[in-house]
Amino acid sequence: MTAPAADPPGADSLKRVSTPPLTTTPPAIDPTFENVWDEIVWRGLVHVSTDQDALRALLAGPSITYYCGFDPTAPSLHLGNLVQLLTMRRLQLAGHRPLGLIGGSTGLIGDPGGRDTERVLNPVETVEEWVGYLRAQVERFLDFDGENAARMVNNLDWTAPLSAIDFLRTIGKHFRVGTMIKKDAVSARLNSEAGISYTEFSYQILQGIDYLELFRQYGCVLQTGGSDQWGNLTSGTDLVHRVEGASVHAIGTPLITNSDGTKFGKSAGNAIWLDPLMCSPYRMYQFWLSTSDADVITRLKVFTFLSRAEIEEYERLVEVEPFRREAQKRLALEVTATVHGPDATAAVIAASEALFGQGELTELDPDTLRSALEELPHAEVSLDTTVVQALVDTGLVSSLGEGRRAIAQGGVSLDGVRIDDDGAFVTGALPGGVSVLRRGKKTLAGLFVARR
């Protein structure tokens, strides 16, 4: 895939995104399906939509133009956005033309959906910088060559020149307040103590303008987004119909939750980001590896390009040999490679195996090893720190006495070598100046050794 030549706003900041473009091309449509609509339905990607019969016919016909928008409300996209990126990729592989929209203007306003309070508005300069980050991430998943080449757009290009009077006269008159306040996100905020400002109330109008503009410029007839965005998606379909008299479509993908109903991909503010500086490839790999048996087949359908036959085989394996966790291993491999590339994924797998005694710690990539140890209990120590003290510092034991007993019992090792002397010092001998401390067979900790 070849990215566009033009630099986006905040181009200097793209250095933080170190992952390469996708290098493998999955099959356009699984041969067991008649068209891509049937496939995305089977994969569970259609939670709500406009007319399904019309959509099936539309996606089975000649190439159409579709879009999905991403607001720069953070310096990186996350796993929820990955659902949209992969859906865009599936539609492009089926022969349709994607528009990747970065919300340079909507990112300045903020979507009220899913929030109990008003969003804190970020500085304009920050949003401009994040536009660059997100654009680079979206570009990785799309192909910019060929007859159905992708195009990147920024809604600031058509909203910035729009005066307040023009906004009210040409756009605002097509929206009915009664309809707007019935949208789920708006209704929830109106009934909360915080209420909703006119700024966030107007968000759905701005998103509606996007669809109208893309319909006019590129003949765009389909928008995809999360089902929690359905009110915003339909504001666009309604506006195009009112202004242009045309019928356009929208697909709302389901919000991904775990089988117990908890939100997917977030825990205590610990989101799984696509930027490797915000979530290491090792952490992402381990996240997918820990998927429950109840969720793993759904995840394979949504987040991988494996065929129906392959996924059904993994479904069988989960039933008959769940202890092997073959489905989880394949899921972790596929998604980490998609997001971070095959080389980073191979390094992560090597680190995972070496940490648990199936490889050489001394041969690991330093950055990957450090990232892996950051996910374990860890401590910063110096070369004059004893192993006993390091056991306490990392929380592997509760006291120096307990640490000495653990060493005397032969249950402590440093960098894979058993420690017999309770006066031994840490070494930091592994790549990157770190060490791996182990108590027993499976309890590990990382040591980051400062050299004075």
CATH number at residue 327: 1.10.240.10
Mean pLDDT within 217-238? 94
Q: What value, to the nearest 5°, has the Cα angle with vertex 272 and ends 110 and 369?
A: 140
| One domain for residues 308 and 395 | no
| One domain for residues 383 and 332 | no
Q: Which residues are CB-neighbours of 214 under 8 A, at least 6 positions away? A: 65, 67, 99, 101, 153, 220
Higher local confidence (pLDDT), 255 or 65:
65
User: What per-residue confidence (pLDDT) applies to 19?
Assistant: 57
Model confidence band, residue 115 (pLDDT cutoffs 50, 70, 90): low
Domain boundary among 305, 339, 365: 365
pLDDT by residue (tens digit) across 265-305?
A: 555 456 899 999 999 999 999 999 999 999 999 999 999 99
Higher local confidence (pLDDT), 400 or 190:
400
Would 2 be classed as within a structural domain?
A: no
| One domain for residues 128 and 212 | yes
Model confidence band, residue 430 (pLDDT cutoffs 50, 70, 90): very high
- Is the pLDDT at 3 greater than 60, yes or no? no
In contact, 278 and 75? CB cutoff 8 Å: yes
In contact, 71 and 126? CB cutoff 8 Å: no
The amino acid at residue 233 is L
Model confidence band, residue 124 (pLDDT cutoffs 50, 70, 90): very high
Q: Domain range for residue 285?
A: 281-365
Domain boundary among 331, 365, 399: 365
Higher local confidence (pLDDT), 119 or 219:
219
User: What per-residue confidence (pLDDT) applies to 27?
Assistant: 67
Domain boundary among 235, 253, 271: 253
How far, in whole angstroms, is CA 80 from its chain's centroid? 5
Instruction: Report the side by side order of strands in the sheet with 417-418.
Output: 378-382, 443-450, 434-439, 412-414, 417-418
User: What per-residue confidence (pLDDT) applies to 127?
Assistant: 95
| One domain for residues 293 and 192 | no
User: What per-residue confidence (pLDDT) applies to 14?
Assistant: 35
In contact, 435 and 417? CB cutoff 8 Å: no
Would 149 be classed as within a structural domain?
A: yes
- Is the pLDDT at 92 greater than 70, yes or no? yes
User: What per-residue confidence (pLDDT) applies to 166?
Assistant: 86
Residue 234: which CATH number?
3.40.50.620
Mean pLDDT within 366-388? 94
pTM for the full model? 0.88
| One domain for residues 200 and 344 | no
Helices of type H across 281-427:
281-289, 293-303, 308-320, 326-340, 342-355, 366-374, 387-393, 400-408
- Is the pLDDT at 253 greater than 50, yes or no? yes
